[in-house]
Chain A
Amino acid sequence: MTDKKNCPQCKKDNKPSAKFCLNCGFEFPMDKSNSSSNSDWLSFLRQSDEESGLNLISLEGVDKEIIKNDDDTKEVPDWLNRIREIKQNEDEFTKIQSGELSYTEIENADLINTLREEEKSTEKNSDDWITKFRDISPTQENDQIDEAEPEPNSIDESSPISSSLDEIKNVWQKEFPALHENIENSEIEPADELPEWLNKTIFDNPEKSEKADDFEMPNWLTPDQEPAAEEILKSDESINIPDWLSQSNFLIEDASEHDTSDELSESLPEWIKEIDKHKTNQKLEGDIEDSEISSNSNDEFDSVLLFNKLDIFPEDSEEENEKQDDHQYLSESASKEINIEAAFIFDDKELNNIPTQPFIGFDASSEWFDQNILENEDDKNEEVETEDENSPKKSPFVFDNIPDWLENVDLNFDDIEPTEATNDEIISDSNLSENIIKAELPEWLRSIRPIEVVTPEISRLQPQKIIEKSGPLAGLQGALSSEKATKLYSAPPAYSVSINITDKQRTHIKILEDIISPSKIKDSSGKTKNTLIQRFTTQLIPIFLLIIVLSSLFLDHSGQKFPELLSADTVRFFNLSTGYLNRNQTPGNVLVVFETDASTFPEMSLISSGFFDNLFMNNHWITLISTNPNGVLVADEILNNSRLKVPSYNYSERIINLGYLPGNAIGIQSFLTNPKATIPEGLSNPNIWNEPPLSDINSMLDFDLIVLVSDNSDNAKLWIEQVDFLIPDIGFLLISTTQASPLLQPYLRSNQIDGMINGISGGISYNLLSNSESNVLDRYWAIIQVVAITFIVFLLAGGVISIFKNTLSANSSGDKK
């Protein structure tokens, strides 16, 4: 069978490695060997069952503690033990108060001695007071614990309190064995001089005085805090710290006064009251003033970090009554000479050397409350009492030989980085203790994180809270604490960043920019701004050209010379167009193909007018076709002009317009192969192939001549190639513009074309050969020559101007260099 853990609460078995009970959630205590958290100096409050033999039942809503000395209940959580202890001590304290128990033998050296350091302690102990808390030998602890084992439910006068004190002492000894090395006598010798806060007696029989240990005792443990107690007692405000801590000396007994002081008894827990009773009556010197527990209990409570963190609030009415009793006790004790046996008796030297800054943010001087709490003098509240100058104040936490890490802490808010601090945490210390050196951030930290430079200025938050007067938050303190912060924020400072670069760096930058910049391309994303000269030339050149052309129209060109030698192409064309067609007496059938665009109609009209006039005069049949949609229109226009010249020609009967031939090369090939199938109908007459002249046409060979009128060499080539390939024996003539004639010369050379009229010169030549009128053509012949010369002049002038521009720009750039 494996070992199982038995839950002490619900008696259920759990795994040996389980930390919590699966049934009820009870936390099993850890073994001593595994636990590493026992170094906490407050762990003495969390005794395990094995040590103390206490056991508490139930985790929630436990009203009463059940103290059992049961071996079976060894596994009890620490927090439960703590609660039990506190409860037990409270019970004992009440008993002491009521006089049932005496407090003579209660040894509180374990608690007080651990918190107190003598002046003559070694440096080690003085430097590291926390280690002293923790450095308790186990043997001594055990001895102390054994001695301090209280019996449950014992109502003896001395046993409960003494047992509780013994417990506490044992626990302290256990936790802080080093503190007790020098302690030869377990009994606490009464201190000669104690701080005020220790002078005040809390217990009924402060007969025994405990010897002050070498440890610094916080002020809140000082018994003598009489003057401030009255002020504390007067306060009825909500308290953040318990009253038993507000008293100056809860260790000093003052039974008579304690009985009657309701105010005092309200705030003090019972266990502290018990301790006070057993304290010896000692008087603390008046050096330790009651100002440490100031009249303004609110200030104290607000400023004490430790107490606020403990969050001890007076909840029950019983506690309030106890506090009232305590307060009353303190007030009464303050007015009277209280024969109190001080638990901690300090010499003058000891008291003077007791550091007044045990914790961060506390000032041992008398004005530490003023400085810490009343930082902002503008915000005053009637209910919030400022520092009481009359009442001497002292820090409740006074330590001698503050450790280094406390000394180096910067309590000045200017140097500390602003964080999300609550009112409790932000305590500005303008007047720090001399012993605490102002902390400064290291340079490297400041350099990497200059937050104070960037963040807006944040004013010091007042440790003093404003108590709301009206509204739902009336009576609450510091409820709207962020209001101040929001008003005091300012814009972060603006810093200019300037880069100082040398001339050499500037040149390097320029070079780099030139390298990486994209190369300039001629394109421009926007409209180019034309200069005046450019605009002038843009308008002048066309105007000049128009002037020349128009003037040429009105000039007399009768004396113009024509070329004597006519081109062979034109001669051949003439011979075929007249001789071949006219060999027979019957009119010939000519197929005229118009591959002409409308844009070249004027030129084509000039060139071909003589030919068509000749055809009309010889009364030949003409069939028109075009692969260009506009060719039909051009043909119709040209023939109409010739009809006007030859009115005897029966235009409507002799002219057949086949219209548009689609398909381009395919259509040409198809038409040349089978014209009837390709174009079955005409534009206006559906029976064109049944009527003359097409009634005799069955194939292309039936045509006498094919004349191609073209301004486009490409389309002309299509016809030439197809005609030569399919019907090589037919006469094929070409009328072309000046633009297309050079590219059609090879076909002429290769006899694929029988004759060609090329341009105006060809037209003039044909007119000369046919002896037809050519006045108009002669005029345009002269205009063409003039315009050609004009274009040459423009070209040369532009070249010369560009040369001059380049020369001038080169000279100017050379001058600049």
Chain B
Amino acid sequence: MKKIFLILISSISGFLIILGLFSPGSILEYIRANLLNWAVILSGIALLIAILNLLAVHWNKVFTDTNRDIASSFFIVGFITVLLIGILLGPADHFFINLNRTIILSVEASMMAVLALTLALACFRFFTRKQNLLSLIFGISTIVFLLLFSGILSLGENIPLMKPIITGLKSLPIAGSTGILIGISLGATITSLRILFGTDRPYDR
């Protein structure tokens, strides 16, 4: 009984939203707008709950867990500090914004730099880890497009045949990505239909 009730709610709400999309100006659109607003609100609340859960997890790691993690203490201190400052000064306060901007931008940018370095190491070990046709094609394409998008090949556009080759090469990732994206879109559609029809129930395991 509970399962049927849940399936009915999910299916009906999904169909209402679809119908509202195709009937602008009607009451269905109004229902759709409201349903979507509620979904956005629930998503925000879920994010807030998840953040509190994250705090609890790190709290347990510091105070109760057998395998204590010192890094969790840094998280707790930073979280509480920024939270208190934001509450006290307000989110529009310059100090608060500067504080956040300084930390977040610095840390995330450095993480991206670390990613670049690890990618360099991964490139060196690439053919050691994978030795098949696909990896060979991947390596060759990596080399070509590194040359292409770094602008090295663009220097030779004056050469008669280089420009069409360069233009053709630049269109290759478009073709590949389009095919992949079409497949991903179809898969997402099928997955959504499975949930609409009630065959797949992520809310009830």
Residues in A lying within 8 Å of B, measured CB to CB: 537-538, 541-542, 545-546, 561, 563-565, 597-602, 630, 633-634, 636-637, 662-663, 666-667, 670, 683-684, 738, 742-743, 745-746, 749, 759, 761, 781, 784-785, 787-792, 794-799, 801-803, 805-806
From A561, A597, A601, A806, residue with most partner B Cβ within 10 Å: A601
Is B43 in the interface zone, CB < 8 Å from A? yes
Cβ-defined contact, A599 with B151, below 8 A: no
* Cβ contacts under 8 Å, B109 to chain A: 598-599, 601-602
Known pairs A788-B152, A799-B127; A633 contacts B97 (CB<8 A): yes
Cross-chain contact of B151 among A541, A636, A670, A781 (Cβ < 8 A): A781
Cβ-defined contact, A798 with B152, below 8 A: no
* Cβ contacts under 8 Å, A798 to chain B: 123-128
Q: Which residue of B lies closest to A602 (CB)?
A: B109
Cβ-defined contact, A598 with B128, below 8 A: no
Q: Could you tell me the distance between the alpha carbons of A626 and B97 in the complex, rounded to whole angstroms?
A: 15
* Cβ contacts under 8 Å, A794 to chain B: 120, 123-124
Q: Could you tell me the distance between the alpha carbons of A518 and B160 in the complex, rounded to whole angstroms?
A: 58
Cβ-defined contact, A633 with B139, below 8 A: no
- The interface bits of chain B over 95-126 (1 if a CB of A lies within 8 angstroms of the residue's CB, else 0) are 00100110011011101100011111101111
Cβ-defined contact, A795 with B139, below 8 A: yes
Cβ-defined contact, A785 with B97, below 8 A: no
Q: Could you tell me the distance between the alpha carbons of A33 and B68 in the complex, rounded to whole angstroms?
A: 91
Cβ-defined contact, B124 with A537, below 8 A: yes
Cβ-defined contact, B111 with A599, below 8 A: yes
Residues in B lying within 8 Å of A, measured CB to CB: 33, 36-37, 39-40, 43-44, 91-92, 97, 100-101, 104-105, 107-109, 111-112, 116-121, 123-128, 131, 139, 142-143, 146-147, 149-152, 154-155, 157-158, 170-171, 173-174, 177-178, 181
* Cβ contacts under 8 Å, B170 to chain A: 742, 745
* Cβ contacts under 8 Å, B126 to chain A: 795, 798-799
Cross-chain contact of A792 among B121, B147, B149, B171 (Cβ < 8 A): B147
Cβ-defined contact, A599 with B112, below 8 A: yes
Cβ-defined contact, A563 with B151, below 8 A: yes
Known pairs A791-B123, A796-B143; A666 contacts B105 (CB<8 A): no
Cβ-defined contact, A541 with B158, below 8 A: no
Cβ-defined contact, A745 with B174, below 8 A: yes
Cross-chain contact of A630 among B44, B108, B139 (Cβ < 8 A): B108
Cβ-defined contact, A663 with B40, below 8 A: yes
* Cβ contacts under 8 Å, A749 to chain B: 174
Known pairs A663-B36, A792-B146; A563 contacts B157 (CB<8 A): yes
* Cβ contacts under 8 Å, B100 to chain A: 633
Known pairs A545-B117, A563-B157; A795 contacts B178 (CB<8 A): no
The contact sample of 27 A-B pairs, CB cut-off 8 A, is: A537-B124, A541-B120, A542-B117, A542-B120, A545-B116, A545-B117, A561-B155, A563-B151, A563-B155, A598-B104, A598-B108, A601-B105, A630-B104, A662-B43, A663-B36, A666-B39, A759-B149, A761-B149, A761-B154, A785-B151, A788-B152, A795-B127, A795-B142, A798-B128, A799-B126, A802-B128, A806-B131
Cross-chain contact of B121 among A537, A667, A738 (Cβ < 8 A): A537
Known pairs A599-B109, A798-B124; A636 contacts B147 (CB<8 A): no
Q: Could you tell me the distance between the alpha carbons of A684 and B157 in the complex, rounded to whole angstroms?
A: 51
Main secondary structure of the interface of A (DSSP, over half): helix
Cβ-defined contact, B121 with A541, below 8 A: yes
Cβ-defined contact, B121 with A746, below 8 A: no
- Chain A proximity of B157: nearest CB distance (Å): 6
* Cβ contacts under 8 Å, B146 to chain A: 788, 791-792
Cβ-defined contact, A785 with B150, below 8 A: yes
Q: Could you tell me the distance between the alpha carbons of A791 and B145 in the complex, rounded to whole angstroms?
A: 11
Cβ-defined contact, B112 with A743, below 8 A: no
- Chain A proximity of B187: nearest CB distance (Å): 15
* Cβ contacts under 8 Å, A663 to chain B: 36, 39-40, 43
- Chain A proximity of B79: nearest CB distance (Å): 15
- Chain A proximity of B41: nearest CB distance (Å): 9
Cβ-defined contact, A636 with B177, below 8 A: no
- Chain A proximity of B179: nearest CB distance (Å): 11
- Chain B proximity of A684: nearest CB distance (Å): 4
Query: Which 8 residue pairs across A and B have the least CB separation, nearest first?
Result: A788-B150, A663-B40, A684-B92, A598-B108, A599-B112, A799-B127, A542-B117, A599-B108
- Chain B proximity of A562: nearest CB distance (Å): 8
* Cβ contacts under 8 Å, B142 to chain A: 791, 795
- Chain B proximity of A373: nearest CB distance (Å): 71
* Cβ contacts under 8 Å, B97 to chain A: 633, 636
* Cβ contacts under 8 Å, A630 to chain B: 104-105, 108
Cross-chain contact of B105 among A538, A634, A781, A806 (Cβ < 8 A): A634
- Chain A proximity of B78: nearest CB distance (Å): 16
- Chain B proximity of A557: nearest CB distance (Å): 13
From A633, A759, A790, A805, residue with most partner B Cβ within 10 Å: A633
Cβ-defined contact, A789 with B101, below 8 A: no
* Cβ contacts under 8 Å, B119 to chain A: 791
Cβ-defined contact, B173 with A790, below 8 A: no
Cβ-defined contact, B151 with A784, below 8 A: yes
- Chain B proximity of A259: nearest CB distance (Å): 98
Known pairs A541-B120, A564-B158; A802 contacts B131 (CB<8 A): yes
Cβ-defined contact, B36 with A670, below 8 A: yes
* Cβ contacts under 8 Å, B125 to chain A: 537, 798
Known pairs A600-B112, A633-B100, A745-B174; A563 contacts B154 (CB<8 A): yes
Q: Could you tell me the distance between the alpha carbons of A803 and B128 in the complex, rounded to whole angstroms?
A: 8
- Chain A proximity of B147: nearest CB distance (Å): 7
* Cβ contacts under 8 Å, A662 to chain B: 40, 43-44
Known pairs A600-B112, A601-B109, A795-B126; A636 contacts B157 (CB<8 A): no
Cβ-defined contact, A545 with B149, below 8 A: no
Q: Could you tell me the distance between the alpha carbons of A116 and B39 in the complex, rounded to whole angstroms?
A: 115
* Cβ contacts under 8 Å, A792 to chain B: 143, 146-147
* Cβ contacts under 8 Å, B116 to chain A: 545
* Cβ contacts under 8 Å, B33 to chain A: 670
* Cβ contacts under 8 Å, A563 to chain B: 151, 154-155, 157
* Cβ contacts under 8 Å, A805 to chain B: 128
Q: Which residue of B lies closest to A598 (CB)?
A: B108
Q: Could you tell me the distance between the alpha carbons of A576 and B170 in the complex, rounded to whole angstroms?
A: 24
Known: A563-B157, A683-B92, A791-B119. 8 other contacts (CB 8 A): A541-B121, A634-B105, A663-B39, A745-B174, A746-B178, A788-B146, A791-B142, A792-B147
Q: Which residue of B lies closest to A685 (CB)?
A: B92
Cβ-defined contact, A637 with B123, below 8 A: no
* Cβ contacts under 8 Å, B107 to chain A: 598
Q: Could you tell me the distance between the alpha carbons of A630 and B101 in the complex, rounded to whole angstroms?
A: 8
- Chain B proximity of A635: nearest CB distance (Å): 10
* Cβ contacts under 8 Å, A761 to chain B: 149, 151, 154
- Chain A proximity of B10: nearest CB distance (Å): 17
- Chain B proximity of A448: nearest CB distance (Å): 55
- Chain A proximity of B49: nearest CB distance (Å): 15
Q: Which residue of A lies closest to B91 (CB)?
A: A683
Q: Could you tell me the distance between the alpha carbons of A38 and B125 in the complex, rounded to whole angstroms?
A: 100
- Chain B proximity of A524: nearest CB distance (Å): 14
Q: Could you tell me the distance between the alpha carbons of A785 and B118 in the complex, rounded to whole angstroms?
A: 19
* Cβ contacts under 8 Å, B128 to chain A: 798, 801-802, 805
Cβ-defined contact, B101 with A788, below 8 A: no
Q: Which residue of B lies closest to A746 (CB)?
A: B174
Q: Could you tell me the distance between the alpha carbons of A599 and B107 in the complex, rounded to whole angstroms?
A: 8
Cross-chain contact of B150 among A633, A670, A784 (Cβ < 8 A): A784
- Chain B proximity of A747: nearest CB distance (Å): 10
Q: Could you tell me the distance between the alpha carbons of A268 and B113 in the complex, rounded to whole angstroms?
A: 117
Cross-chain contact of B139 among A601, A602, A799 (Cβ < 8 A): A799
* Cβ contacts under 8 Å, B127 to chain A: 795, 798-799, 802-803
